[in-house]
A and B are shown apart, each in its own frame.
Chain A
Amino acid sequence: EIVLTQSPGTLSLSPGERATLSCRASQSVSSSYLAWYQQKPGQAPRLLIYGASSRATGIPDRFSGSGSGTDFTLTISRLEPEDFAVYYCQQYGSSPPVYTFGQGTKLEIK
Chain B
Amino acid sequence: QVQLQESGPGLVKPSETLSLTCAVSGYSISSGYSWGWIRQPPGKGLEWIANINHSGSTSYNPSLKSRVTISVDTSKNQFSLKLSSVTAADTAVYYCARCNWNYRHFDFWGQGTLVTVSS
Tell me the A residues contacting B by CB distance below 8 Å. Answer: 1, 32-33, 35, 37, 43-47, 50-51, 54, 56, 88, 90, 92, 96-104
Contacts and interface: CB of A to CB of B under 8 A. Distances in A.
Interface residues of B, number: 24
A45 B106 contact: yes
B95 A44 contact: yes
Given A44-B110, A45-B109, A96-B62, A101 B100 contact: no
Nearest to B108: A47
* Closest CB pairs A-B (n = 3): A92-B104, A35-B105, A44-B109
Given A100-B48, A104-B46, 14 more contacts: A1-B62, A32-B102, A32-B103, A33-B103, A35-B104, A37-B46, A37-B106, A44-B109, A47-B105, A90-B106, A97-B51, A98-B59, A99-B48, A99-B61
Nearest to A36: B105
